Amino acid sequence: MNSFGRIFRIQIYGESHGPAVGLILDGVPAGLSLQLEDFAGDLERRKPGKQGTTTRVESDLPELVSGIYLGRTTGAPLHIQFKNQNIRSEDYSAFLDQDRPGHADFTARIKYGGQHDPRGGGHFSGRLTLALVAAGVVAKKILPELQFAAVLTEAGGLQDIPRALELAEADGDSIGGVVECRVEGIPAGLGEPFFDSLESVISHLAFSIPAIKGIEFGSGFQSVRMKGSEHNDAIMDSSGQTMTNHAGGINGGISNGNPLLFRLAVKPPSSTPQTQTTYSKQSGQMEPLKITGRHDLCLALRVPVVAEAIAAIAIADLALIRRTQNI
Amino acid sequence: MNSFGRIFRIQIYGESHGPAVGLILDGVPAGLSLQLEDFAGDLERRKPGKQGTTTRVESDLPELVSGIYLGRTTGAPLHIQFKNQNIRSEDYSAFLDQDRPGHADFTARIKYGGQHDPRGGGHFSGRLTLALVAAGVVAKKILPELQFAAVLTEAGGLQDIPRALELAEADGDSIGGVVECRVEGIPAGLGEPFFDSLESVISHLAFSIPAIKGIEFGSGFQSVRMKGSEHNDAIMDSSGQTMTNHAGGINGGISNGNPLLFRLAVKPPSSTPQTQTTYSKQSGQMEPLKITGRHDLCLALRVPVVAEAIAAIAIADLALIRRTQNI
Amino acid sequence: MNSFGRIFRIQIYGESHGPAVGLILDGVPAGLSLQLEDFAGDLERRKPGKQGTTTRVESDLPELVSGIYLGRTTGAPLHIQFKNQNIRSEDYSAFLDQDRPGHADFTARIKYGGQHDPRGGGHFSGRLTLALVAAGVVAKKILPELQFAAVLTEAGGLQDIPRALELAEADGDSIGGVVECRVEGIPAGLGEPFFDSLESVISHLAFSIPAIKGIEFGSGFQSVRMKGSEHNDAIMDSSGQTMTNHAGGINGGISNGNPLLFRLAVKPPSSTPQTQTTYSKQSGQMEPLKITGRHDLCLALRVPVVAEAIAAIAIADLALIRRTQNI
Amino acid sequence: MNSFGRIFRIQIYGESHGPAVGLILDGVPAGLSLQLEDFAGDLERRKPGKQGTTTRVESDLPELVSGIYLGRTTGAPLHIQFKNQNIRSEDYSAFLDQDRPGHADFTARIKYGGQHDPRGGGHFSGRLTLALVAAGVVAKKILPELQFAAVLTEAGGLQDIPRALELAEADGDSIGGVVECRVEGIPAGLGEPFFDSLESVISHLAFSIPAIKGIEFGSGFQSVRMKGSEHNDAIMDSSGQTMTNHAGGINGGISNGNPLLFRLAVKPPSSTPQTQTTYSKQSGQMEPLKITGRHDLCLALRVPVVAEAIAAIAIADLALIRRTQNI
């Protein structure tokens, strides 16, 4: 499904090598000041072209197609479009005989009866995260009092990221990483159990980001080795501030006013420079496959801003819904 | 929000110490044979009263209130109700002065302006997972060719579960655990990117289970230390069978026909027998708090059947949606 | 689909001759005072047993199963259940050979492969409107400043309703009617175009009421014969009050602060006492059919309170959504 | 809300005088042949520039921005965009002092705190129906066996449409009309009660069309004066064919296999050439208002193709959902 959210709703479209990717945001409060410049910072952070990322560089200039008038949101659907400019379709034609391991080639082919757009991953391309980042920019403007800070804490098993990238280059192999996202200033009371817990909504969005294979909140998988007396965050005052934050700022699926904290596991990109051996439809057996083209060696480098974006999207929706809950 | 799903929709209600908990399932295909006995096995697995779990024992007999006729589903909403029988409200009255650390006491109070039902966790009680398990039973019947197998692989840091429980009893402290769920027989093609990836839908449901703080698919957080050439699952044949299964049966958010594999981090129950120190509204400072009553020492023991249930609910919905995708 | 609404959501279940009918309301603001007595008035207005309506009399006592604590809503799902007490299943068994004209017998059979509950119309029974009326009671409490007033303006072609009923009795045939609903005190600004115009949401709910075959707002079908200069409602002041109200209180799908006005066409009940001729599966040809049992001669008599209920449900949802629209 | 549907989902955006209007269709089955030429016929029928309609002529060429590859739908979101070309913003500036009677000027201003785009009605413009017509074209391709036929049966109170238009020109006043839509070939079994009856879904979409103030199915408002024995459609054979079609092809909210029939009341356009008297914010009292610019004298002329479109959109969604209902 191409849409998510109840009030602040994101709807996306586009393919890697089609005319454009973009998004419609519905439910954006009217009167929000929004300029093209507002997008520059976060889009820059998502951009490839840095060490360890693909050399495909797009200018990534957003166009505000609808929902904006005199520099402010109107309350009507906000359509943001990114034209695709730097397209090399020929890189992908060779893979039609061999579905690339780790990619959606096989699954998309089965699901859509071979009708999907295979060029550059088509609708499954990481390029679609542009839409998430753009939505995140708008969401952050709805939440001016919040601070979002996501960082890559580990890549290729090392906390020293430049060293990890050097090794990956030397090995000629792609590497994964862990992205940690922290949100400060989030008020208590956000989250809609039973099903729309704050964790549920964030994780739903997180797993729409290609390459994410795990998420944990607070102490997450470490908490399974703690005792209850150790894991519980003692409440210190009437505002709900806690001494520790093993819960990652969430109790019972609802924000408790302490910093929101989650971590994402980003797998190594499937487009490794290494030669792989995988099934060939033509020969009917496994054959070598060498993926060329422009690809990220460490996609995780570009994920922090996307992690912030999905946190902001989730929180903006829940913050708007929160307004409906008092008599 | 109390509902989840697009076609096969679950809607839940109830409180721990109210008259009943229950669920309505909408979109259940008509003609499915459904007997009370179908629920017995999975409900039994969820039951407390085993070592390490609360001594509150409910008979947990489901009533089929609507949507069923002559032993088959009718296509109308299927309402399944569980009367609450074994209720001790008095256990909880003492906590009104002190919000229990790790519980939803503080967040529910803030969110609902103090109007929530505080008895036994109210709507935030683990008892609500009865509804998930019941929905899982129906979902599994929709998917007769699939095998669901979830197990507790680790508790209190040990793979020897009875030993871990002994230690927890001796320590007088609650412990967490890891639940691994494996689904075999799942066809390729399930999952609805961009937003409703198979991981997204399962994780959304998983984080509605109280006490879950992390989820990972396939190699999950281990994958961040693998190289791409190592992590990629080589495809062996035209059916998409892969040599390894680091992806946990999912590529591009869509099932690839290999076993679905995910793991849940279950935190130690917040109701530890240990005395805690936490904020008292009356005194305006932190005070000791001793939680009595019947509580799970290791809730994770009861989670495997819930993990299977949420997997089944997610897959059933996606399998029904799958039918709409060919011309 | 058994649910409707975005924030204030109604979810229904039940069959005419099953154990119960009921509803879950999600998104009800916490802290709303709600007593069983609140339901008495509107349930009484919906009751059969008056002239022209079926002699099946149910006590129709609601049970508040969840979402309520100490006489106030808690913010958790509010489950309201009505046990079915006065059941005569034998009346309907004869119709299995002949699908009753005008009823859902044929369509339900085709849709659900013959698995539907045929007793008393099953899930298609007018008894399900109990759930609408109950939801309407809660919705009205959310909107204390609004006045809802629906009346039967015409039955059997006459404005003199008692006379129309006498004639229907004498003819031994069922009759239809027109219900007009007026809502005063509705603030300007409710309605969510493009798709969720105030008319769209109300009409969606209206056509879930069995026997409704038309709806019009303001001058409705009369407006097609007016000139623009005649139909336009001139605005008189800054509050938006208009000189006439041909628009029925809605412009561009949004309430304009003037009274909301709509009319429903209620067809004559399909269960006419007259002998009909319709297809018999057994004989393979059309055969006489005599419907006995307890049925409404003029169902429209019971529709006004249902019309108010669906208006209140629609407005409550839109009023809650309205709170999310300012920065 | 800018989206509608459960499986076949339409999402729209755009303003009359912004860069573009358009739509995203989600849930379109993959493999559907779709060419630009497919849109030509229905777009032509919607076009203004005929007698009685506005002289604003747009080329209305759709661009297929995403979801299409090699002339077939891919299963990914299908984005169709219409650039706005023929824009005259200056026509509307004069109305900022006076909200135009019958238009959304007042309601949009209140709702969005004065932040809406007022140029040409902005997001409330009839131009948005382009999106509906385009969606209808795709929906009709999903339903190749159905025949859609909508006609204007009455304008300005006359069945002789050219005569009505002549009179309107002579009077210098706008007129309304009745559009009747008939769909043949629709299979029995479509519609999702309780809430998503076929009437509910069609009417929801119908009232998103600007200027629609009423809808009736089958005999509609005439049925209120029929007796039950008269109104009931006797079933003739096992296929469910009926002797009459007072029900308009729907029983219990589900299609019965007979032709679907509904009628829409289209009010006279609010932009009448007549001078009106309405409130002026500047003077604080009612003042004359003369609307110039290009406007439809009889918008109803352009509604038939929109009526077909919304019927097709509703039926396509329900037909896809229908596939999920058998075990």
Mean pLDDT over all residues of chain D? 94
| Contact with chain C for residue A320, Cβ under 8 A | yes
Q: Return the pLDDT at B52.
A: 74
Q: In B274-301, which positions are buried (b, 16+ CB within 10 angstroms) versus exposed (e)?
A: bebbbbbeeeeebeebebeebbbbbbbb
Q: Return the pLDDT at D293.
A: 78
**Residues 6 or more apart in contact with residue C192 via CB below 8 angstroms:** C201, C253, C318, C321, D1
Beta bridge partners of B250: B255
Mean pLDDT over all residues of chain B? 94
Q: Return the pLDDT at B88.
A: 67
> Does residue A91 carry a pLDDT above 60?
no
D81-139 tens-digit pLDDT: 999 987 766 656 666 899 999 999 999 999 999 999 998 889 999 999 999 999 999 99
How many angstroms separate the CA atoms of A232 and A243, rounded? 9
**Residues 6 or more apart in contact with residue C161 via CB below 8 angstroms:** C152, C155, C177, C301
User: Under an 8 A CB cutoff, do B220 and A251 touch?
Assistant: no
Give the nearest partner residue to A320 out of C30, C194, C324, using CB atoms.
C324
**Residues 6 or more apart in contact with residue D222 via CB below 8 angstroms:** none
Instruction: Write down how long chain B is.
Output: 327
For the record, the structure tokens of D194 come out as 């309780």
User: Where residue A103 sits, what CATH number does that domain have?
Assistant: 3.60.150.10
Q: Return the pLDDT at C72.
A: 96
> Does residue D295 carry a pLDDT above 70?
yes
Q: Please tell me which chains touch D, using 3 or more CB pairs under 8 Å as the contact test.
A: A, B, C
Query: What are the DSSP calls for A185-236, one per residue?
Result: SPPTT--BTTTB-HHHHHHHHHTTSTTEEEEEETTGGGGGGSBHHHHS--B-
> Does residue D310 carry a pLDDT above 80?
yes
What's the average model confidence in pLDDT over A125-133?
95
Among C3-17, C38-52, C135-149, D169-183, the range scoring the smallest mean pLDDT is C38-52
Q: Return the pLDDT at D72.
A: 96
Query: What are the DSSP calls for A167-199, one per residue?
Result: HHHHHT--B-EEEEEEEESPPTT--BTTTB-HH
> Does residue C216 carry a pLDDT above 80?
yes
Residue B284 DSSP symbol? S
What's the average model confidence in pLDDT over B13-18?
95
User: Under an 8 A CB cutoff, do D116 and A3 touch?
Assistant: no
**Closest chain C residue to A194, measured at CA:** C76
Closest to B305 (Cα-Cα) out of B20, B113, B44, B76: B44
Closest to B261 (Cα-Cα) out of B323, B201, B182: B182
> Does residue B293 carry a pLDDT above 90?
no
Confidence of residue A90 (pLDDT cuts 50, 70, 90): low
Confidence of residue B51 (pLDDT cuts 50, 70, 90): confident
| Contact with chain A for residue B215, Cβ under 8 A | yes
DSSP 3-state of D132: helix
In chain D, what's the furthest Cα-to-Cα distance? 69
How many angstroms separate the CA atoms of A9 and D11, rounded? 11
Q: Return the pLDDT at A211.
A: 96
What's the average model confidence in pLDDT over C26-45?
96
**Which residues form the domain of A38?**
3-324
User: Under an 8 A CB cutoff, do C7 and A324 touch?
Assistant: yes
For the record, the structure tokens of B3 come out as 């509902």
CA distances in angstroms from D297 to D121, D170, D213, D268, listed in the order given: 16, 11, 17, 8
DSSP 3-state of D60: coil
Q: Return the pLDDT at C241.
A: 98
Q: DSSP 3-state helix, strand, coil percentages of chain A (rounded to 5)?
A: 30, 25, 45
B266-279 tens-digit pLDDT: 999 999 999 999 99
Closest to B269 (Cα-Cα) out of B48, B96, B60: B48
CA distances in angstroms from B54 to B119, B178, B179, B196, B293, listed in the order given: 16, 19, 19, 36, 9
CA distances in angstroms from B29 to A36, A248, B327, C273, D200, listed in the order given: 49, 40, 21, 35, 22
Confidence of residue B55 (pLDDT cuts 50, 70, 90): low
Query: For chain C, what is the domain count?
Result: 1
What's the average model confidence in pLDDT over B59-75?
94
Confidence of residue C92 (pLDDT cuts 50, 70, 90): low
Partner D, chain C 174-193, Cβ-Cβ below 8 Å: 174-178, 188-189, 191-193
Residue with the bigger pLDDT between C295 and B124: it is B124
> Which residue type occupies B86?
N
How many angstroms separate the CA atoms of A167 and A175, rounded? 9
DSSP 3-state of D27: coil
> Does residue A295 carry a pLDDT above 90?
no
What's the average model confidence in pLDDT over D181-206?
98
**Closest chain C residue to A324, measured at CA:** C320
How many angstroms separate the CA atoms of D228 and C296, rounded? 11
Threshold 0.95, pTM exceeds: yes
User: Under an 8 A CB cutoff, do C112 and B30 touch?
Assistant: yes
Q: Please tell me which chains touch C, using 3 or more CB pairs under 8 Å as the contact test.
A: A, B, D
| Contact with chain C for residue B65, Cβ under 8 A | yes
What's the average model confidence in pLDDT over B297-301?
95
Q: Return the pLDDT at C134.
A: 98
For the record, the structure tokens of C24 come out as 């879950």
> Does residue A8 carry a pLDDT above 70?
yes
∠ CA(C226), CA(C231), CA(C237), 5° rounding?
Answer: 165
